[in-house]
């Protein structure tokens, strides 16, 4: 098992290209199950999670080629409708295969999901949606068994906007009979791209980017060739590192996906310059404390909450970080405290009292974004930090140490 070693307080400078979005490519890979043919996806990040999804699709019978960030998925050979616990337990996004399998084959058997070891992320919204489309749902031995002779369009209203449930129901509804209306649908860029790609495949989805999606079912879909959107969470993570430690340019990203994040970084005292698809961030004086409250898109992403807490740890004052999406997503706080951060927790609110200096220590990753927060904190800290259980960071960040090293960070990987 590897660990990351970081010697902090090096100036970051230069430019680095951002990867394709993990949270966009995983549902796109699942969508390939809907078609009898080869789907080609470019700019696929080479991550533990994408490799896990590749293995899952292969278990289902798909033939896969993955080379130079291009993924070819042949859905014509799919001959199995069960997603086993061994894979689904390691990555919640595996649950995305339920909708496509149910839509195309009329049945699916998918293990209840696992993934990051924090907080409940129930699949109830997914299952209620499938039931409204006419599916029979049974839970046996930890598996969801779904079946339907033919899915029928219906009105689906989510009490709380859910990215995963929106994606799953959309993929089921595209082959349903009649019209499906999804109310309070997720508006995240990753969902917009999923709908765009499904439309390229022959779907009839309108309302993209709004909280109401209309899906008119079609009889069949055809393969498509697409390029994954930039990873806004990776971009946000690097923006905060640059805002704290120097001047860096992040290339081939999408500023429009980061509106509120860019605003908050500017409020912290850093400067932001946008040139096309490139963003330059520069540290300019003391970090000012800035409060954030996470929310569904276009609000501040919950996937950047941990990194913002690390950033605010060196602010010249106190800040309040509230997570309204996942109330107990704060496992990183105790590890940041080990580095000298001063953080007070009150339910789903972190009150961060900025300190003059963080100091290196041994810390442990607990999930993908917590890992990123520890990397950023270690870059800002005096001395050496060792981060263990970095398989979490490898799930969501492609070659993070190589990119940071290219910008001037002193960071390397060792076997524990």
- Residues involved in catalysis: 116
Choose among 123, 46, 51, 13: nearest CA to 397.
46
Q: Where do we find the tokens 């259980």? A: 389
CA-to-CA dists, residue 116 to 90, 93, 278, 347, 371, angstroms: 8, 11, 31, 20, 11
Q: What is the CA radius of gyration of the chain?
A: 21
SS3 of residue 354 by DSSP = coil
Contact 265, 272 (CB under 8 A): yes
Q: Which residues contact 56 (CB under 8 A, 6 or more apart)?
A: 83, 87, 88, 94, 97
Number of H helices, E strands in the chain: 14, 24
* Helix (H) or strand (E) segment spanning residue 236: helix 232-245
- What's the rounded Cα separation, in Å, for the pair 339 and 413? 19
Q: Hey, which residues does 143 pair with through a beta bridge?
A: 111, 140
- What's the rounded Cα separation, in Å, for the pair 341 and 334? 9
Choose among 189, 223, 245: nearest CA to 73.
223
Q: How many CA atoms lie within 13 A of 278 on its CB side?
A: 9
Q: Which residues contact 44 (CB under 8 A, 6 or more apart)?
A: 20, 25, 50, 66, 69, 70, 71, 228
Rounded to 5°, angle at Cα 56 from 50 and 59 = 145
């Amino acid at each position: 098992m590897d660990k990351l070693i970081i010697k902090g307080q090096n100036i970051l400078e230069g430019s680095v290209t951002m990867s394709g979005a993990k949270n966009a490519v995983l549902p796109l890979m699942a969508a390939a199950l809907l078609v009898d043919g080869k789907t080609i996806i470019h700019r696929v990040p080479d991550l533990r999670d994408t490799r896990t999804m590749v293995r899952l699709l292969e278990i289902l019978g798909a033939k896969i080629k993955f080379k130079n960030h291009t993924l070819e998925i042949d859905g014509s050979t799919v001959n199995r409708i069960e997603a086993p616990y061994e894979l689904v337990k390691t990555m919640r996004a595996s649950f995305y295969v339920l909708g496509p399998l149910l839509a195309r084959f009329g049945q699916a058997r998918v293990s209840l999901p696992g993934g990051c070891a924090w907080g409940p992320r129930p699949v109830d919204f997914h299952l209620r949606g499938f039931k409204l489309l006419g599916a029979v749902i049974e839970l046996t031995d930890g598996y969801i068994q779904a079946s339907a002779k033919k899915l029928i369009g219906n009105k689906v209203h989510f009490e709380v906007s859910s990215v995963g449930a929106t994606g799953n129901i959309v993929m089921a509804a595209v082959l349903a009979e009649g019209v499906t209306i999804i109310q309070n649908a997720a508006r995240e860029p990753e969902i917009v791209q999923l709908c765009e790609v499904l439309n390229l495949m022959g779907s009839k989805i309108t309302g993209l980017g709004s909280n109401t999606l209309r899906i008119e079912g079609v009889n069949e879909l055809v393969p498509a060739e697409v390029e994954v959107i930039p990873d806004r969470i990776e971009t946000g993570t690097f923006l905060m590192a640059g805002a704290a430690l120097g001047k860096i340019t992040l290339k081939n990203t999408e500023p429009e996906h980061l509106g509120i994040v860019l605003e908050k970084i500017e409020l912290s005292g850093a400067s932001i310059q946008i040139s096309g698809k490139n963003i330059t961030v520069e540290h300019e004086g003391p970090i000012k404390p800035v409060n954030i409250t996470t929310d569904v898109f276009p609000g501040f992403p919950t996937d950047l909450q941990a990194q913002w807490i690390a950033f605010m740890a060196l602010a010249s004052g106190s800040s309040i970080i509230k997570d309204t999406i996942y109330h107990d997503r704060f496992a990183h706080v105790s590890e940041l405290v080990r580095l000298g951060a001063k953080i007070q927790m009150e339910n789903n609110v972190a009150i961060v009292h900025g300190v003059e200096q963080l100091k290196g220590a041994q810390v442990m990753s607990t999930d993908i974004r917590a890992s990123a927060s520890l990397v950023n904190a270690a870059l800002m800290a005096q001395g050496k930090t060792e981060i263990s259980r970095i398989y979490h960071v490898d799930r969501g960040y492609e070659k993070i140490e190589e990119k940071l090293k290219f910008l001037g960070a002193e960071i390397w990987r060792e076997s524990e």
